[in-house]
Amino acid sequence: MHRSRAVMAWNVFKFCTALRGLGSIMILLVLGVVGVTYYAVVLNNYGPALYDGGIDSLVSLAVLIPFHSLLVMLLWSYFSVVLTDPGSVPPNWRPAIDEERGEADPLNGSEFSGVQSDQSNQRIRYCRKCNQLKPPRCHHCSVCGRCVLKMDHHCVWVVNCVGALNYKYFLLFLFYTFLETSLVTLSLSPHFIAFFSDGEIPGTPGTLATTFLAFVLNLAFALSVLGFLIMHISLVSANTTTIEAYEKKTTPKWRYDLGRKKNFEQVFGADKRYWFIPTYSDDDLRRMPALQGLEYPSKPDFDSQEF
Ligand SMILES: [Zn+2]
Ligand SMILES: [Zn+2]
């Protein structure tokens, strides 16, 4: 029993080390895909067509302007997720004591294990590995080796955990990646179809291969990111994280579900001007505790409900 647990722990450790090692490679991989795509769309196809004059120039502009705008937003969001700390527990963090409930000792009734149930949000949880109390919605990430505020998942593509402070940036990254890869797929599809026609195709084997590769990669990303995007839209509209959605399967009522609009604002902020960029207004950061990752408003009538 102990032996198998030790073996499992060792496997998890090796897996986590491998994931960490993968880190910089994943960033290079993302930049590689961007590079191949840029070469195919701008340098090979629509850049040169810009000088053809007439309708060709107009079509090129109609592709190149949104292509570059989306690329800037995509890279801005991407590096915001990579470089923003998802949120860690402040040293010696203690919960505010709930006097009404008489929980003078926050450790009363807590479970001293890394496993939590959805009900434990009401109780104070403790992380054995970090030796500290866990704020609500906080989870321990075995890859990062620490507790992460409102942890959603550990994402290998961004070499970081996705949590309270960078979840919005992650969603924007998905959103802009979907738009950009769809645009590239559409704009390269005439060139892709030309491969299978009988006529002579202009270009060297190298440039043709790059166009082919860029089309296939972007189509694959567009389809897989769309699935991910739909999943996260439903998570945001219910104010849950991936981990919570998995844990609360048996609980029909969710204490943090404030209604669709408020749930959206809990992630994106209330200021509309900041919804599409990976940052928050100072006002929102001051006014909305959820954006700091330590306290989350719950349904007003929830405390009276039975768990
Ligand atoms: Zn921990
Ligand atoms: Zn992590």
Domain boundaries, the chain: 22-89+163-307
> Is residue 224 a contact partner of residue 182, using CB atoms and an 8 Å limit?
no
Mean pLDDT of 279-289: 92
Distance between Cα 120 and ligand 1 center (Å): 16
| Residues involved in catalysis | 155
In this predicted structure, what is the pLDDT of residue 193?
86
The one-letter amino acid at 261:
K
Where are the extended beta strands (E) located within the chain? Answer: 125-127, 132-134, 139-141, 146-148, 153-155, 160-162
pLDDT category of residue 3 using cuts at 50, 70 and 90: low
Instruction: Name beta bridge partners: 133.
Output: 126
Contact 82, 90 (CB under 8 A): no
pLDDT tens track for 226-263: 999 999 999 999 899 999 888 876 566 778 888 889 99
* pLDDT tens digit sequence for 113-134: 333 334 444 578 899 999 999 9
Whole-number Å distance between alpha carbons of 141 and 249: 21
Is a pLDDT exceeding 70 seen at residue 18? no
Positive or negative, the CA dihedral 265, 121, 133, 129 is negative
- Residue 117 has a pLDDT of 38
Cα–ligand 2 centroid distance for 14 (angstroms): 15
Look at residue 80 and tell me whether its pLDDT is greater than 80.
yes
Percent of the chain with pLDDT over 90: 58
The answer, yes or no, to whether residue 268 has pLDDT greater than 70, is yes
Q: In angstroms, what is the span from residue 114 Cα to ligand 1's centroid?
A: 8
Largest CA distance in the chain: 81
Q: Considering every ligand atom, which ligand is closest to the CA of 130?
A: 1
Query: What is the Cα–Cα distance from 213 to 37, expressed in whole angstroms?
Result: 8
Cα(139) to ligand 1 centroid in Å equals: 7
Least distant ligand from the CA of 19: 2
Q: How far is the CA of 116 from the centre of ligand 1 (A)?
A: 12
The confidence score (pLDDT) of residue 257 equals 86
Q: Is the pLDDT of residue 99 over 60?
A: no
Residue 37 Cα to ligand 2 middle (Å): 29
Of 48-57, 175-184, 268-277, 296-305, the range with the lowest mean pLDDT is 296-305
Considering only 1-15, 187-201, 234-248, which range has the smallest mean pLDDT? Answer: 1-15
Residue located via tokens 């705008």: 69
Q: Is the pLDDT of residue 42 over 80?
A: yes
Which listed ligand is nearest to 159 at the C-alpha?
Answer: 2
Q: Which ligand minimizes its atom distance to the CA of 88?
A: 1
Q: What are phi and psi of 160, to 5 degrees?
A: -160, 165
Query: Does the pLDDT of residue 154 top 90, yes or no?
Result: yes
Residue 19 pLDDT level (bands cut at 50, 70, 90): low
